[in-house]
Amino acid sequence: MEEQLAQTFLLIAAAFVAVAILARLRLSPVLGYLAAGLLLGPHGIGAVTDSEGTHFFGELGIALLMFVIGLEFSVPRLLSSGGAMIGLGFGTVAGATLLAGAASHFLVGLPLLPAALLGGAIAMSSTAIIQKHLVDTDAVSSRHGVAATGIVLFEDLVALILLSLIAALPDAANEVEMEKVLLRMGVSFVALAGVALLARRTLGRLLGWVARSGPDETFLLGVLTLVVGASLAAEKIGLSLPIGAFVVGMMVGESDFRHQLEEEIRPFRDLLLGVFFVTIGMSVDWSQILAQPAVTFLVLAAILVVKFLVVFGVTRLSGLPASSAVKTGLLLAHSGELGLLIVGRSLDSALLSPAIGQPVLGAIAASMLVGPILAQWSDRAGDLILRSRDPLGAEIETAVRTTSQELKGHVVLAGCGPVGRLVALTLEASEIPYLAIERNVERLRRAQQDGHKAVFGDASRAGILKAAGVDRAAAIIVLVNNWHRSVRIIREAKRLNPAIHVIASLRDDAHLGELAQAGAAHVFPENYAAGLGLGAQALMTLGMSADDATDRIRAMRAQLSPDLQIVPR
């Protein structure tokens, strides 16, 4: 017991340090868990032994991950992203799997089934890396954001099928009767789908009864019972453990409890999923990788190049502009955590030899390290393409120029979300001419429905800003959530019109200095606006006069940011 406790302490401490360091570097915590397992495992310093208990908790982590993914696969979500998910997803997964699988079969000599599994593993991208980048850059609803989200949803579904295939295969030492395996899988899938359809409404009512009749712990225990029970049922009928959890997630994904379920399960999922990636790190044999570093590097290069070319080609064929296709290709060029899972399971089942599987594990982990860097490059590369050769970019600039041709001394709004619409209302009330530029289609539609003068375009592009008349505008108000884009917009606007007055908004005060250095004269952190506004209301509610409250808040603004003119004076 003492030895197991000591090993647990070492793993938790190493994972904590590694994840904390990577968080500071804004890299995926998955790499931290892999590093902890790699360092302390049997192929590292040997401080921790590989145990069945560790693997068991790791399996539970995968089940909870698939449950949360299942919540995202509700029928309305599938219908809304059906084209992107099925068309683009199938094209990219099939293309990457075929190319990587064919190379494994013809160049390395792998049998067809292991080659297909290896190709499928390489085709998987990291949902966590992609979603984080899209949220950080406010691009979830952009063309490349919708395409990337649909593709990774399809990849998640394919990963479940591949994991079920690995679980359904007999030992590699026996002759694989593929027709029987596929038939057994098909029957099992049909049976599981039938049960899910029959039990969907009953399950929603059951969750409602549990939520109403007991404390919070009862609801959480009920959810865990469903996930573990469904995983057990899937194993019993010959499918993989995660497929049962995924199906339960789909069943309850349309209920009123979807968001509560995700919040309740997240702490357990993150912790146990971390255990799983620690076990993957423990299984990585550095001696195999260091014995053939050139192979690992070539596999890494092949992953990045093949996936980029496949995604770029499929998205271009689907009608996406070259700029959006480049962004999507770079965003998905890496391989991800589900690829690690598929290769790890293939190694455990002896479908892949360590001489082949270990370098692939190392290459996938390295690609996850490169993934966030490529994601950051994707916006710049896409904008460069858009400026140089994308005909759609010229059409957009023409449309913006037509709208702004009669404007002079006006205000340009870079972004027209909720805050931008309020600014537009203020300008309209004062009869000040303006033009709003918005690249998010949903926000643009809402602004136009509200009667605001808004056009489609990316304000970080010099061509769009020039078409909007920035060179003859009195001011530009920057209202985008990503500070990198804000800096680009400010610099381009000042380059086109050095005398233009720049007002900027950003989420918090973390990057005030960067915006000021770029040329912003007035910066409004949204957390300041909300906090100081609430503070002013609290002062007046407690009896302070409006004038005194205003003076107090003005002093607070000056104190919080003495180097910036936070409000006009």
All structural domains of the chain, each given as residue ranges with its CATH number in brackets, are: 2-388 (1.20.1530.20), 391-520 (3.40.50.720)
Give residue 324's pLDDT: 84
Question: Which of 335, 338, 330, 342 lies closest to 364, judged by CA?
Answer: 335
DSSP state for residue 543 in the 8-state scheme: T
Give residue 5's pLDDT: 75
Q: What string of DSSP letters covers 499-524?
A: T-EEEEEESSSTTHHHHHHHT-SEEE
pLDDT in tens, 409-427: 999 999 998 888 999 999 9
- Assign residue 224 a region (left: φ > 0; alpha: ψ between -120 and 50; beta: otherwise): alpha
Q: What string of DSSP letters covers 111-139?
A: -HHHHHHHHHHHH---HHHHHHHHHHTT-
pLDDT in tens, 120-174: 999 999 887 887 788 777 777 778 888 888 888 888 888 888 887 887 775 444 4
Q: Are 545 and 551 in contact (CB under 8 A)?
A: no
CA distance 103 to 302: 10
SS3 of residue 29 by DSSP:
helix
Sequence letter at residue 291:
A
- Helices (H), strands (E): how many in the chain? 26, 6
SS3 of residue 324 by DSSP:
helix
Q: Are 74 and 65 in contact (CB under 8 A)?
A: no
Give residue 171's pLDDT: 46
Q: Are 507 and 534 in contact (CB under 8 A)?
A: no
CA–CA–CA angle 320, 325, 327 (5° rounding): 135
Pairing of strands 411-414, 475-478: parallel
Residue 449: how many CA atoms within 13 Å on its side-chain side?
Answer: 7
pLDDT in tens, 66-87: 777 777 666 555 555 555 567 7
Residue with tokens 């865990």: 224
**C-alpha 342, offset from chain centre:** 20
Helices 143-168 and 127-136 pack at an angle, to 10 degrees, of: 170
CA distance 274 to 34: 9
Write the secondary structure of 394-405 as one string of H (helix), E (strand) and C (coil): HHHHHHHHHHHC
Give residue 1's pLDDT: 60
Phi–psi pair at 123, nearest 5 degrees: -70, -20
Residues paired with residue 524 on neighbouring β-strands, in sequence order: 505
Sequence letter at residue 376:
Q
Strand intervals (E) in 400-474: 411-414, 434-438, 454-456
Per-residue pLDDT of the chain (569 residues; tens, 9 = 90+): 667 777 778 777 887 888 788 777 767 777 788 788 888 877 777 777 766 666 677 777 777 777 777 776 665 555 555 555 677 888 999 999 999 989 888 888 888 888 999 999 999 998 878 877 887 777 777 788 888 888 888 888 888 888 878 877 754 444 456 666 666 666 666 766 666 666 666 776 777 777 677 666 777 787 788 888 888 877 777 667 777 788 778 777 766 676 777 777 777 777 777 777 787 777 777 777 777 888 889 999 999 999 999 999 999 998 888 888 889 999 999 998 889 889 988 888 888 888 888 889 889 988 888 888 888 888 777 766 665 655 555 677 888 888 888 889 999 999 998 888 999 999 999 899 999 999 877 788 889 999 999 998 888 888 889 999 999 999 999 998 777 788 889 999 999 999 999 998 887 666 777 888 888 888 887 777 778 788 888 888 888 888 888 888 888 777 765 544 444 33
Helices 241-252 and 216-236 pack at an angle, to 10 degrees, of: 130
